[in-house]
Structure 1
Amino acid sequence: MTELSDVFEGFTGRDWQTGEEGTVRIAMVGLGWWTKEKAMPAVERSELCETTVLVSSDEERAMAVADQHETVVEGLTYEGFHDGKAREEYDAVYIATPNAVHLEYAATAAEFDKAILCEKPMEATVERAEELVEACESVPLMIAYRMHTEPAVRRARELVREGFIGDPVAIHGAMTQRLLEMNPDTDQWRLDPDLAGYGASVMDLGIYPLNTARFVLDRDPQSVGASMHSSHEAFADVADERASFRVDFPDGVSTVCTASQNAAQSSHLRITGTEGELELDPVFFPDEPRKLRVRRGDVDATLDFDQRSQMTEEFDYFADRVLSETEPHPDGEHGLVDMRALEAIYEAAESDATVSL
């Protein structure tokens, strides 16, 4: 069994890095606040990639943002992107559009033989996600689950693998935020089922504890149950202003999660085993300082560590895989497991029944 001191030593080390040198040039597809405030600054901090092309609905807007960044050489409309304009100026694309249009940009990028980093969830429905994976068979496709490169989550996974907490028994996870304080417009895509997919809270937030539980356990779900509630008028078109759901894994391990787009900001993941417990709190929001608490017997330690930018780690991992010509993970097939689980969670809430996967 791994000694606790061994895990804490080199806590933020990149155990995934191959050491390949070079620079991956990225086209950012979609210029919403997430791209401008999170993704682009993350790439500016990157060791292995740079932003060279911006793609937006408005060329003037794209060029205005481009003028603020030294490495960006071209601003395109979506039509220009599909037409292949400036295709020699980038090696890979990052897709951060509304969920329901990920497919069309991924398909075009694959046609141009570009590597793809696609935001989660990978599409709005299972059927469209399956089309996306099929369209990208010939190019590297990675789904942007940044928890997979978050040092605290990777160390928790290592402790579970090495038996530090004994056999896993249960996971409790939560992610909540006040969406309307972030964007008061009630006519936004996250509240539109045609663009967001099956719902608002589980699709956008609940996927974090769901996928991170999968990653930490290294197992895929077998069945789900769920309940949902919406009362605020802004959430009239979606079932899940707030939601709770259960995900059953092999060997009797259950994950219970809550998610809400209309609650105080909070995020945590607690992994309980037969011999001990791990707690990540906070964990899912990129700007909060992550902590890992480890408990077993007389040991009760909370580790504060030098924080890594979750987004920069994700982009550097993706670029490392492109440079080393190594298949990235999580890939499209991994993302499809989540899409099928998400569909089942909404079905379980509507039917008030357990749904098998």
Structure 2
Amino acid sequence: MEDALADYLDEFTRRDWQTLDPDDVDDPVRVAVVGLGWFAREWALPGIARSAFTEATVVTDVDADAVETVAVEHDVRGVTPDELRSGAVADEYDAVYVATPNATHLVYVRAAAEQGKAILCEKPLEATVDRARELVAACRDADVPLMVGYRMQTDPAVRRLRDLLEAGFAGDVVHVHATMSQTMLGELGSDHDQWRLDPDLSGGCALMDIGVYPLNTTRFVLGSDPVRVSGRTRTEHEAFAGVDEHATFRLEYPGGVDAMCTVSQNAQHASRLEVTGTDARLILDPAFYEREDRGFAVVREGTRVDVDFDQVHQIEEEFAYFGHQLLAEEPFYPDGDHALGDMRVLDALYESAEMGRAVALGDDA
């Protein structure tokens, strides 16, 4: 099996999307970072700096102290949210990265679109489907490129898994199992990201915040969209009152392929994706968290092979792709229309959980 795998997994971390030589890039894409929570500080800003195709030049946040601190640490221009939305320093950036609470994405994306800037918006697109549609429409009307932050899609481990599926290495896909869980209030710290517990800001918690990972990654590796979904949510602790603490959901894909997914904001840390076909099983474990190395295994004909590969900085890969596609004048795959598919599925899952029945999705989901 090792010889057969080598045909597909040679140069495991290759960037199959890259056509530009990083050494030839004299003017990387200048990025304004909106929202300076732990993820932007610890992962996005380092990822932007590591990428040869991007550089951070402006930062903003509602927390003035955070802006001042980050501006000094990264030698960038710190501005207020009003200054950024007004376009007062628009000549200092080419693109805007939005990493604020879900329900505030629209206001920043709309402002960036009106300034004619390219946009990378974190997932999920917004707190509701309607606001997500407005966001995509604002970019379309302004004719500006919109990419959505599905970092799994630029991770080599995920791309190689998709390559194997497309090549038929696993045979016909039969089912998918995925799980993602964390003790949110412990792993992220009690003072971090409490907006996730506010349904008006987040639109939900377990499904909206981490359910989107197995949902979107499954869509990506299968190259297909679910046609019917069912979901169940559960909340047990007072800290999660008003939002979903745990969720279980089923995604039915064309051909009867089912993806069974479980997510939790208050359970033992876990992160796994397993695709089972008629000929092989493909396993990512760990799978989804940026702060842990990915594992890649193939089980075929009774033999398991754990692939040893050089790990990459997930966020560097994401921003490298973003900057590269802009400089090469090439489109993004995870664009606004693609992200709207997730929003419609998430909305249907909440509907299913409330009504206690499966929900069919239209052709555009």
Q: How would you bin the TM-score normalised by the shorter chain? A: over 0.9
1:187 Cα deviation from its structure 2 partner: 8.5
1:117 Cα deviation from its structure 2 partner: 0.4
Q: Does 1:100 align with 2:106?
A: no
- Match in the other structure for 1:293: 297
User: What is the rounded CA distance, in whole Å, between the counterparts of 1:187 and 1:248 in structure 2?
Assistant: 32
Q: Does 1:249 align with 2:250?
A: no
Is the CA contact 2:183–2:267 (under 8 Å) kept in the aligned structure 1? yes
Following TM superposition, the consecutive aligned residue runs of length 4 or more in structure 1 with deviations greater than 4 angstroms are none
Q: Which amino acid aligns with 1:78?
A: P
Q: Does 1:165 align with 2:170?
A: yes
The alignment-based identity, stated in percent, is 52
User: What is the rounded CA distance, in whole Å, between the counterparts of 2:299 and 2:193 in structure 1?
Assistant: 45
Q: Does 1:192 align with 2:198?
A: yes
- Match in the other structure for 1:233: 238
1:143 Cα deviation from its structure 2 partner: 0.5
Q: Given the superposition, is the C-alpha separation of residues 241 and 221 from structure 1 closer, same or farther in structure 2, using an over 3 Å criterion? A: same
Q: 1:212 aligns with which of 205, 217, 225?
A: 217
1:106 Cα deviation from its structure 2 partner: 0.5
Is the CA contact 1:186–1:234 (under 8 Å) kept in the aligned structure 2? no
User: Could you say what secondary structure the match of 1:136 adopts?
Assistant: helix
Q: Given the superposition, is the C-alpha separation of residues 172 and 303 from structure 1 closer, same or farther in structure 2, using an over 3 Å criterion? A: same
User: What is the rounded CA distance, in whole Å, between the counterparts of 1:58 and 1:234 in structure 2?
Assistant: 24
User: What is the rounded CA distance, in whole Å, between the counterparts of 1:242 and 1:321 in structure 2?
Assistant: 37
Is the CA contact 2:37–2:193 (under 8 Å) kept in the aligned structure 1? no
Q: Given the superposition, is the C-alpha separation of residues 9 and 187 from structure 1 closer, same or farther in structure 2, using an over 3 Å criterion? A: closer
1:166-188, Cα deviation, whole Å (9 max, x unpaired): 01110000110111112324981
Is the CA contact 2:180–2:264 (under 8 Å) kept in the aligned structure 1? yes
Q: Which amino acid aligns with 1:272?
A: T
Gaps of 5+ in 2: none
- Match in the other structure for 1:27: 32
Q: Which amino acid aligns with 1:11?
A: F
1:92 Cα deviation from its structure 2 partner: 0.4
1:52-84, Cα deviation, whole Å (9 max, x unpaired): 0001114453132111113x1x11111111111
Q: 1:278 aligns with which of 279, 282, 301?
A: 282
User: What is the rounded CA distance, in whole Å, between the counterparts of 2:360 and 2:282 in structure 1?
Assistant: 28
User: What is the rounded CA distance, in whole Å, between the counterparts of 1:103 and 1:351 in structure 2?
Assistant: 29
1:42 Cα deviation from its structure 2 partner: 1.1
Q: Which amino acid aligns with 1:135?
A: A
Is the CA contact 2:38–2:192 (under 8 Å) kept in the aligned structure 1? no
Q: Which amino acid aligns with 1:285?
A: Y
1:131-177, Cα deviation, whole Å (9 max, x unpaired): 00000011110000001011111000000000001011100001101
Provide the aligned C-alpha RMSD in A: 1.5
Q: Which amino acid aligns with 2:212?
A: I
1:7 Cα deviation from its structure 2 partner: 2.1
Q: Which amino acid aligns with 2:15?
A: R
Q: Does 1:83 align with 2:89?
A: no
Q: Does 1:112 align with 2:115?
A: yes
Q: Which amino acid aligns with 1:192?
A: D
Q: 1:183 aligns with which of 185, 189, 195?
A: 189
User: What is the rounded CA distance, in whole Å, between the counterparts of 1:341 and 1:215 in structure 2?
Assistant: 14
The alignment of Structure 1 onto Structure 2 pairs a total of residues equal to: 353
Q: Which amino acid aligns with 1:225?
A: S
TM-score, normalised to structure 2's length?
0.94
Q: Which amino acid aligns with 1:41?
A: P
1:337-356, Cα deviation, whole Å (9 max, x unpaired): 00000000011011110001
Q: Counterparts in 2 of 1:263-342, with a 5 A limit?
A: 263-342=267-346
User: What is the rounded CA distance, in whole Å, between the counterparts of 2:352 and 2:192 in structure 1?
Assistant: 27
User: Could you say what secondary structure the match of 1:67 adopts?
Assistant: helix
